[in-house]
Amino acid sequence: MLKRLFPHPVLSVLLVIVWLMLVNGFKIGSLVMALILAIVIPILTAPYWPNRPPLRQIPAFTRYLLLVMWDILVANIQVAKIILFMPADRIQSAWIPVPIDLKSPEAITLLAGTITMTPGTLTADMSACGTVLLIHSLHAPDPDAIRDDIKARYETRLKRIFE
């Protein structure tokens, strides 16, 4: 019964929390509304999650989020420096194909999002079979180093979390 009502417990809990934050305060009425959403939305969106990965590694995932937030901070400063101090014709932009070993679509989405938010890189496309990401780098004197850095810094961590 409980399992039929909440097929995706993590999503349901997240929806309740987000709704209560949106209302910005705790009232019984908003809790009821949150519960309705927590039941209806997972059922409506179930077709889009054919085989959702279980999120077991919550500490590892939290560490990953903190790492990414720190990298975003560094990325902001780096990109600001490039914009302010580097002459436009000396910026060497490059397209970098990054082969990935991740299998689950959720992990790949997270990796692509991370790449977009962090140091001077942007996910633009992926190969039709889903095994190579196309990345655009703002300033890449050494494209291979950037590729290896992405694989070592983010992909191995995501692999441990999701697979």
Partner 1 sequence: MDLAIEAILSALLVIGGIFAVIGSYGLLKLRQTMQRLHAPTKASTIGVGTTLIVSMIYFPVFEGQFSWQELLITLFLFLTAPITANFIAKAQMHSRMTRDDLPPTGLGNDWATFDEDENAPPTRR
By the criterion CB under 8 A, which residues form the site for partner 1? Answer: 18, 20-22, 24, 72-73, 75-77, 79-80, 83-84, 88, 91, 93, 95-97, 99, 105, 112-113, 116-117, 120, 122-132, 134, 136, 138
To partner 1, the closest distance from the beta carbon of 76 in angstroms equals 4
Q: CB of 113 within 8 A of CB of 65?
A: no
Q: Residue 37 corresponds to which amino acid?
A: L
* CA angle, 19 then 109 then 66, to 5°: 65
Q: Which is nearer to partner 1, 5 or 103 (CB)?
A: 103
User: Of 133 and 161, which has the nearer Cβ to partner 1?
Assistant: 133
Exposure of 60 by Cβ count < 10 A (0-12 exposed, 13-18 middle, 19+ buried)? middle
Shortest distance (Å) from residue 144 CB to partner 1: 12
Q: Which is nearer to partner 1, 7 or 105 (CB)?
A: 105
What would you report as the CA-atom Rg of the chain, rounded to the nearest whole angstrom?
20
